[in-house]
């Protein structure tokens, strides 16, 4: 590192004088707040506690709704003294709470993939970009709150804020993703009160909040007031495990009593439904802690597959046994451990079929409605997801309770990411720049980890604690890991710290799991077989789902399932971070960073989920669901077996059935007796496929497993959980043209005509002027085509530059010959002045069926691989319906086709393009035997392959999908107009997706188009 750079780093990291504001002092994290406690609510009666509805409680008051708000462009312009009740805010606007300022038109959203939207100069913040929102509202405290302890909770707000009540300063807090509770008993009184919050967009804590997401802010979770009794329950610590035999439940409960001293007792009751299965009672000790314990014989253990919950009722009683305060929560009995080098839950090895998820909504940005939150979990359960990494911060408390209820393993992650300083370390090699190495940042690191653990410690769904993401490493993280292990030995600790692991396996020995990010298949396989690596491997991020992606996902899981040391991973990620905005024509489109002012942001694409931000599944979602399926089928002579990939449950909650397809149409179906199959086991099926109805047909057997009622929470009865298809015969062969008609010279064209059909080849271009039947034009063009509209992965891998010659070859052709040769019209195209040759031979049978035989011949051996090898045709707008026999119903690619059932499918032409955030290649179908384009009367064109083809039919010119500069192309640009497109490919490259920003994002070699001669054929005929 140069002397100049060393000096700069030293200046950047210099201690800040104490006169700096709290929000520029990393050692100042919180002032005036209560210690963090677990999520629970106090109630005045046992019955109210069991209902758990704070809206019906006399002592809970929501402060959500409209607040008066004024936004200042910087701290110096903020309205000073606004916290005083006499300050006139009547002319201010309003702001919703919870709410994101930028979503409500106050300032602009900024997206940063890595780095900060302000100069990197920790712990200082550039004041010129640090907007300050001043919030005010009046709160009427009812008379019955008198004499009680008033606790005001701000669920989450960021990046930093001050709180006043009636003009008196109460406190200060940082960390945008965890609540802060303030005792306002002294400041607040019965009657009207003024609550004021001064919220800073950025603070020193923002250096720890460098996640790849929208840099927006607001009071993003609820604000509430609770009037607790003078003596009240301050915290609950529930340890609900299993005995050594994993049969009996072992409960240990710690109840912290707060407030005024007094003679109180605590009674704890565990309920199974309405039946009490355990009751314990005790008095506080000298530290005002009540510790209770007890066993439950034959307890129903909790797991993601069987999320059995009990109700814990805790009552604080006075000396006469009357309830002072009560609360309840759902608890689950389970163990988490490393045993035999494996992560085990309840003594059984588990597989993590996970996703990462940001809290994101296309309208409200970070505010999640109950409906959206529940929809996420419905889609996860239906998509065979069993684990969720809360990337990269503690989430809204609601998702933890839902995960407990429906069965999801959670990796709870501290709100720590300092990617900007990790990048500086990667540039300089100087570890001292990492915030995890800096003593003045230790308290902030520990605070974020400790408060997360204290808030979420009672949820059975949380089985991993994560110390953060893309931070680098350092002693601050080692100290945090040590604290977590001492505080909560019942769970495991995960932490990578690095952005990517490079050509090594950088194991952190102070955590329990090796959690690499985007390691490819070869790397994880190497780790699995190396005996010196003891930790189980669970990919914290992999299978980067940006745009049209998620290639070779089946290959990942073939490898993961082959090695016991590999226990799955978390896809990046679940939901696109697009926002919905309107274009000039008033149409909605998926907006990204460059679509806004984005000051301080970058051009990172944000459509990296397996579902869109409105919760519409992407095609990738179906591939994920297929590969993640916990039930599979295999062919094993002389029959078939079912494979139970569950970790804890047998197959009694499922039904099995079969279907026989002939030429893609179901001709028979039936049920299969469900054998007894233990978790992780397999068993043969009692199944004899029926004889063929049509001996010449292509026959495929489809086996399916469906959920019974209640087998999987949030999943409908009959939902297909796992399925497989087996080829019993090959595709039908394309019949040869018995006797072709002779070409006719038509002057500017060569013509084939028979059976009411005419095919004309232009002598100058070598392309079809048209293929018509009954005087109706069905198809034109047929240009050699080697290019595709770049996917996000193509762009990230620099394919538009490295492979640009294939675009040139597709758009600029030399016609070497257009001639008659026997009964054929032969067209010879040359691309790249002798680089590539393409020959197309057109013939026609007496019934008007035309045949194309195409030969692709690369001459140069130093060209990169083509993205596709095929022909591009245009189709008339009237042919707006499509049917095909191949993989479907969604788009498929050679490395993402496992989820495509080979059958007959159909729909409108407009439906075939999937609206990715940025227009790109979409709509291709693999293994197509034939495709029909027709009008509403069923008249049109049928194209049949001589071998299975990759075909793409779209309702607009393919050029509409061409790559544009960032922010210049939008999803709303793509709509039916003009001629349609028909792409007929012998092969197209896969979509890739190991990453989205490097060569690793390209399709694996086996899924690329080889640079060698390719021959294929097809026929053109009538639709019916």
pLDDT tens digits for 150-161? 999 999 999 999
- State yes or no: is 342 an active-site residue: no
Condensed to tens digits (0 to 9), the pLDDT of residues 766-815 reads 999 999 999 999 999 999 999 999 999 999 999 999 999 999 999 999 99
Residue pointed to by tokens 């071998």? 947
Hunting for tokens 């290649």 — which residue is that?
921
Percent of the chain's residues with pLDDT above 70: 98
Across the strands, what pairs with 342? 339
Mean pLDDT of the chain: 95
| pLDDT above 60 (res 120) | yes
C-alpha closest to that of 783 among 762, 798, 802: 762
* Beta-strand relationship, 223-228 and 60-62: antiparallel
Residues of the chain above pLDDT 90, percent: 94
Q: Is 118 helix (H, G, I), strand (E, B) or coil?
A: coil
Residues sharing a CB contact under 8 Å with residue 958, sequence separation 6 or more, in sequence order: 789, 872, 981, 983
What are the tens digits of pLDDT across the range 939-954? 999 999 999 999 999 9
Q: How far apart are CA 99 and CA 722, in angstroms?
A: 40
Q: Which two tokens stand for residue 992?
A: 């890739």
pLDDT at 11: 33
pLDDT digits (tens, 9 = 90+) for 582-605: 999 999 999 999 999 878 888 889
Which of the residues 305, 359, 541, 891 is marked catalytic?
Answer: 541
DSSP β-bridge partners for residue 888 = 901
Query: Which residues make Cβ contacts (< 8 Å) with residue 560, sequence separation at least 6?
Result: 351, 524, 566, 567, 568, 569
Reply yes or no on whether the pLDDT at 6 is more than 80: no
pLDDT band at 737 (very low <50, low <70, confident <90, very high): low
709 burial via Cβ count (<10 Å: 0-12, 13-18, 19+): exposed
Angle between helices 475-487 and 442-456 (to 10 degrees): 30
Tokens representing residue 420 in the block: 């900007």
Can you give the pLDDT at residue 502? 84
Q: What tokens does 450 get?
A: 């400790």
Which two three-digit tokens encode residue 783? 């240009």
CA atoms of 945 and 950, how far apart (whole Å): 10
- 887, 893 contact by CB (below 8 A): no
Residue spans of beta strands (DSSP E) within 40-147: 60-62, 65-72, 93-97, 99-100, 110-112, 132-141
Catalytic residue among 413, 470, 724, 934: 470
Q: How does residue 142 score in pLDDT terms, banded at 50, 70 and 90? A: very high
Three-class DSSP category at 594: helix
Report the 10 Å Cβ neighbour count for 228: 21
Q: Output the CA torsion sign for 533, 538, 543, 544.
A: negative
3-state DSSP call for residue 106?
A: coil
DSSP assignment, residue 32? S
Radius of gyration of the chain (CA): 32
Instruction: Assess whether 662 carries a catalytic annotation.
Output: no
Q: How many CB atoms lie within 10 A of CB 861?
A: 7
In this model, does residue 1 exceed pLDDT 60? no
| Per-residue pLDDT, 463 | 98
Q: Tell me the C-alpha distance between 101 and 220, whole Å.
A: 9
Whole-number Cα distances in Å, 462 to 379, 573, 673: 20, 19, 36
d(CA 864, CA 94): 58
CA distance 541 to 352: 12
pLDDT of residue 638: 87
The pLDDT of residue 12 is: 38
Question: Would you say residue 733 has pLDDT above 90?
Answer: no
Per-residue pLDDT tens for 259-301?
Answer: 988 889 999 999 999 999 999 999 999 999 999 999 999 999 9
**What are 961-982's pLDDT values in tens digits?**
999 998 899 999 999 999 999 9
| Residue 93 pLDDT > 60 | yes
| Position 483 confidence tier, pLDDT thresholds 50, 70, 90 | very high
| Structure tokens, 628 | 């993640």
Q: Could you give the dihedral angle defined by the CA atoms of residues 548, 554, 557 and 558, in that order, rounded to the nearest 10 degrees?
A: -150
> In sequence order, what are the residues at sequence separation of 6 or more whose Cβ sits closer than 8 angstroms to the Cβ of residue 275?
none
Q: pTM, whole model, 2 decimals?
A: 0.94
Closest by CA to 256, choosing from 286, 229, 224, is 286
Alpha carbons 898 and 926: distance in angstroms, whole number: 10
* Angle of the 370-382 helix axis to the 397-406 helix axis, nearest 10: 40
Query: Strand 537-542 relative to strand 348-349: parallel, antiparallel, unpaired?
Result: unpaired
Structure tokens given for 232: 């009240």
Query: Which residue from 236, 395, 899, 875 is spatially nearest to 626, judged by alpha carbons?
Result: 899
Mean pLDDT computed over 533-554 = 97
| SS3 annotation, 877-920 | CCCCEEEEEEEECCCCECCECCCCEEEEEEEEHHHHCCCCCCCC
| pLDDT tens digit sequence for 642-694 | 999 999 999 999 999 999 999 999 999 999 999 999 999 999 999 998 999 99
When pLDDT is averaged across residues 914-924 and rounded to a whole number, the result is: 97
CA pair distance 995, 555, nearest whole angstrom? 15
CB atoms within 10 A of CB 559: 16
Instruction: List, for residues 403-447, the tens digit of each pLDDT value.
Output: 999 999 999 999 999 999 999 999 999 999 999 999 999 999 999
Question: What integer pLDDT is reported at residue 5 of this predicted model?
Answer: 32
- pLDDT bin (cut points 50, 70, 90) of residue 51 is very high
């Amino acid at each position: 590192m140069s002397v100049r750079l060393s000096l700069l780093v030293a200046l950047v990291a210099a201690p800040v004088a104490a006169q700096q504001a709290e929000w520029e002092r990393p050692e100042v994290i919180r002032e005036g707040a209560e210690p963090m406690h677990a999520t629970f609510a106090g109630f005045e009666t046992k019955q109210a506690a069991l209902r758990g509805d704070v809206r019906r409680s006399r002592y809970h008051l929501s402060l959500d709704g409209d607040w008066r708000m004024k936004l200042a462009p910087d701290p110096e312009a903020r309205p000073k003294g606004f916290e005083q009740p006499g300050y006139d805010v009547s002319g201010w606007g309003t702001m919703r709470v919870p709410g994101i300022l930028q979503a409500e038109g106050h300032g602009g959203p900024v997206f940063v993939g890595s780095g900060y939207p302000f100069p990197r100069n920790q712990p200082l913040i550039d004041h010129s970009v640090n907007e300050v929102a001043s919030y005010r509202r009046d709160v009427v405290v009812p008379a019955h709150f008198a004499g009680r302890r008033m606790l005001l909770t701000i669920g989450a707000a960021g990046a930093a804020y001050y709180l006043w009540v009636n003009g008196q300063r109460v406190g200060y807090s940082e960390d945008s993703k965890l609540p802060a509770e303030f005792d306002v008993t002294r400041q607040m009184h019965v009657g009207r009160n003024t609550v004021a919050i001064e919220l800073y967009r950025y603070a020193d804590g923002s250096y720890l909040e460098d996640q790849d997401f929208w840099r927006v802010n607001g009071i993003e979770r609820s604000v509430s007031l609770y009037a607790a009794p003078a003596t009240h329950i301050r915290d609950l610590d529930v340890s609900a495990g299993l005995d050594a035999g994993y049969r009996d439940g072992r409960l240990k409960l710690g109840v912290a009593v707060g407030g005024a001293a007094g003679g109180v007792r605590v009674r704890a009751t565990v309920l199974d439904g309405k039946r009490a299965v355990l009751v314990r009672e005790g008095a506080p000790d000298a530290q005002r802690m009540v510790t209770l314990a007890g066993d439950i014989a034959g307890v129903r253990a909790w797991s993601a597959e069987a999320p059995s919950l009990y109700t814990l009722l805790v009552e604080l009683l006075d000396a006469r046994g009357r309830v002072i305060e009560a609360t309840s929560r759902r608890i689950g009995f389970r163990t988490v451990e490393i045993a035999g080098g494996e992560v085990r839950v309840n003594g059984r090895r588990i597989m993590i079929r996970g996703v990462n998820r940001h809290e994101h909504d296309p309208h409200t940005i970070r505010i999640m409605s109950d409906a959206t939150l529940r929809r996420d979990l419905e889609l996860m359960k239906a998509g065979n997801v069993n684990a969720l990494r809360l990337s990269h911060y503690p989430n809204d408390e609601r998702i933890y309770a839902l995960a407990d209820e429906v069965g999801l393993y959670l990796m709870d992650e501290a709100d720590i990411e300092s990617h900007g300083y990790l990048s500086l370390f990667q540039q300089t090699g100087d570890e001292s720049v990492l915030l995890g190495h800096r003593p003045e940042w230790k308290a902030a690191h520990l605070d974020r980890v400790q408060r997360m653990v204290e808030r979420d410690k009672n949820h059975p769904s949380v089985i991993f604690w994560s110390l953060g993401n893309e931070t680098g490493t350092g002693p601050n993280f080692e100290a945090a890991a040590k604290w977590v292990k001492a505080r909560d030995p019942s769970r495991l600790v995960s932490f990578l710290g690095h952005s990517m692991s490079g050509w090594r396996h950088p194991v952190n020995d102070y955590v329990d799991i090796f959690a690499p990010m985007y390691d490819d298949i070869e790397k994880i396989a190497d780790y699995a077989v190396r005996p010196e690596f003891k930790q189980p491997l669970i990919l914290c991020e992999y299978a980067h789902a940006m745009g049209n992606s998620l290639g070779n996902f089946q290959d990942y899981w073939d490898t993961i399932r082959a090695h016991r040391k590999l226990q799955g991973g978390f896809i990046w990620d679940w939901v696109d971070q697009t926002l919905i905005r309107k274009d000039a024509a008033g149409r909605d489109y998926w907006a990204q960073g460059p679509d806004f002012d984005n000051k301080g942001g970058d051009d990172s694409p944000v459509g990296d989920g397996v579902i869109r931000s409105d919760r519409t599944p992407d095609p990738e979602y179906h591939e994920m669901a297929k590969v993640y399926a916990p039930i599979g089928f295999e062919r094993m002579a002389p029959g078939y077996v079912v494979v139970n990939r569950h970790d804890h449950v047998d197959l009694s909650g499922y039904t099995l059935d079969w279907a026989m397809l002939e030429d893609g149409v179901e001709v028979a179906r039936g049920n299969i007796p469900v054998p007894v199959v233990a978790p992780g086991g397999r068993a043969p099926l009692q199944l004899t496929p029926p004889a063929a109805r049509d001996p010449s047909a292509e026959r495929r057997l489809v086996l399916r497993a469906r959920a019974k009622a209640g087998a999987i929470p949030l999943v409908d009865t009959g939902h297909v959980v796992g399925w497989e298809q087996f080829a019993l015969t090959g595709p039908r062969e394309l019949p040869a043209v018995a006797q072709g008609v002779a070409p006719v010279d038509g002057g500017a064209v060569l013509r084939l005509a028979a059976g009411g059909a005419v095919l004309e080849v232009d002598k100058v271009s070598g392309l079809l002027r048209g293929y018509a039947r009954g005087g109706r034009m069905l198809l034109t063009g047929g240009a050699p085509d080697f290019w595709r509209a770049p996917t996000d992965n193509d762009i990230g891998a620099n394919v538009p530059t490295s492979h640009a010659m294939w675009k040139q070859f597709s758009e600029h052709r030399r016609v070497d010959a257009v001639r008659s040769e026997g009964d054929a019209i032969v067209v010879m195209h040359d691309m790249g002045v002798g680089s590539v040759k393409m020959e197309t031979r057109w013939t026609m049978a007496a019934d008007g069926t035309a045949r194309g035989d195409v030969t692709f011949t690369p001459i140069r051996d130093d060209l990169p691989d083509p993205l596709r090898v095929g022909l591009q045709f245009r189709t008339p707008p009237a042919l707006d319906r499509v049917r095909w026999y191949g993989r479907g119903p969604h788009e498929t690619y050679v490395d993402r086709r496992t989820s495509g059932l080979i059958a007959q499918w159909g729909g409108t032409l407009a439906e075939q393009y999937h609206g990715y955030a940025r227009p790109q290649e979409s709509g291709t179908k693999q293994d197509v035997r034939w495709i029909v384009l027709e009008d509403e009367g069923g008249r049109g064109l049928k194209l049949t392959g001589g071998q299975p083809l990759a075909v793409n039919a779209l309702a607009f010119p393919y050029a509409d999908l061409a790559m544009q500069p960032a922010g210049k192309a939008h999803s709303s640009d793509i709509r039916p107009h003009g001629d349609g497109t028909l792409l007929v490919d012998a092969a197209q490259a896969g979509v890739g997706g190991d990453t989205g920003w490097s060569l690793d994002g390209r399709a694996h070699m086996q899924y690329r188009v080889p640079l060698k001669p390719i021959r294929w054929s097809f026929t053109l005929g009538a639709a019916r």
